[in-house]
Structure 1
Amino acid sequence: MESPGPAGPAAEVIRLATASHLTIATAESLTAGMVSAALGSVPGASAVLQGGAVTYQNQIKVDVLGVDPAGIAATGAVDAVVARQMAEGARRVFDADLGVSTTGAAGPEPHAGKAVGTVFVAVASPGGTRVKEYLFDGDRESVRRHACSAALDLLRTVLRDRDAGNKSQD
């Protein structure tokens, strides 16, 4: 697993976003600000990092990010649709080009029927929203670190794909 610090994927996310003049916002549940902290640890992050919301409680996901309460009631917070709505909510709340979200069951117990290590990461952009599901092994802290790395990797992928698309249009 790559380090989420300044020498790892966070630095590339900041570099790519800066080069593309794109802003980023975060909405984090199980990572509780780790993604935002990793991005903020990179020199120059202030050019692109708009802000972030730690929405650990479901009611905060609903009230702050606009996640559908009926959806959370039906599936629980560890869900692809919830991750999508969190990322899209982060874009809206922070007026950002990209929103990234994390939601999952870090443990030590399953969460609303979802196994420990189940994580959903989403990145919302003007071109749409990508959601990925993961099942990570390990203890609570390991699952959280993996989720942070997965969020940075998905952000990096979205930015690389956008960059490649722009170059092919030149």
Structure 2
Amino acid sequence: MPTKTDNAVFPPAELREIVHEVVELLKDRGETISCGETAAGGLISAAILSVPGASAVYKGGLTLYTLESRLAFGGWTQEQIDNFTGPSIYCVLGLAEHLRGQLKSTYAVAESGSAGPSNWGKTDNMKAGYVALAVASSAGCVEREIETGLVDRDANMVRFAAEALRLVKDVIAADMARFSGWLNC
């Protein structure tokens, strides 16, 4: 019987604690999540699905790596494709809202970035290590931009997934704080 080695353990160490926290919060609250990913390549979804009981909270996800896939499945228009200037808050806000609406999830997280190792443009959003994140919920959308300063593709992909999950946790915590007083009415 094969044994796990350090390099075969999934999810990566940086994701383990945060993904368990997010899944437990969602399960405890009876809520769901969907994921739209580009540069993370499906790591957010895979990390969520690695947690036992994930089927109670995970509605689905898309890895939309190409512009064509965003047009076909991400709710993008041809005008958005024609005017695309790289990963941005604008891109992920629309994707998160689209996924949440299509999959009827409580939350939808979306990310778009540049994992590296090379830069594919001169603007900050096209440099390795940049990611735009958004979480959509019934309360609206929250976004965050991160620059890791790294050019290592694998490390950036894991970091993008971890930061996306941290944003989800922050949004859930804000929702909990916002609605906790309602129970005392």
Q: Does 1:18 align with 2:34?
A: no
In structure 1, the partner of 2:10 is none
Q: How many residues align?
A: 168
* TM superposition shift of 1:72: 4.0
- The answer to whether residue 160 in structure 2 is matched with residue 147 in structure 1 is yes
TM-score, scaled relative to structure 1: 0.91
Q: What are the within-5 Å matches in structure 2 for residues 2-151 of structure 1?
A: 3-5=14-16, 8-113=17-122, 114-138=126-150, 139-151=152-164
Paired letter, 2:169: R
Structure 1 residue ranges without an equivalent (≥5)? none
Change (3 A) 1:17 1:145: same
Supply the distance in 1 between the matched residues of 2:107 and 2:113 (Cα, whole angstroms): 20
Q: Which moved more, 1:14-23 or 1:28-37?
A: 14-23
The AA in structure 2 aligned to 1:146 is R
How far apart are residue 29 of structure 1 and its match? 0.3
Deviations 1:116-165 (A, max 9, x none): 11100110111111111111122111111110000000000111111122
Distance (Å, rounded) in 2 between the aligned partners of 1:34 and 1:98: 17
CA RMSD of aligned residues (A): 1.7
Give the Cα–Cα distance (whole angstroms) in 2 for the partners of residues 122 and 147 of structure 1.
12
The worse-fitting range, judged by mean Cα deviation, of 153-162 and 61-70 is 61-70
Contact 1:27 / 1:90 at 8 angstroms: preserved in 2? yes
Gaps of 5+ in 2: 1-12
Secondary structure of 1:153 counterpart = helix
Identity %: 28
1:147/1:81 CA distance change after superposition, 3 Å: same
In the TM superposition, what whole-angstrom CA distance separates every residue of 1:33-67 from its partner, at most 9, and x where no partner exists? Answer: 10001111111111110111010001211221112
| Rounded Cα–Cα distance in structure 1 between residues aligned with 2:135 and 2:50 | 20
Q: Take 2:49 and 2:103, find their aligned partners in 1: how far apart are those partners? A: 15
Matched AA of 2:23: I
Alpha-carbon distance between aligned partners in 2 of 1:73 and 1:112, rounded to the nearest angstrom? 17
- Give yes or no for contact 2:19–2:47 (8 Å, CA) kept in 1: yes
1:63-108 Cα deviation digits (max 9, x unpaired):
2111244234324341110011111122123221111011001112
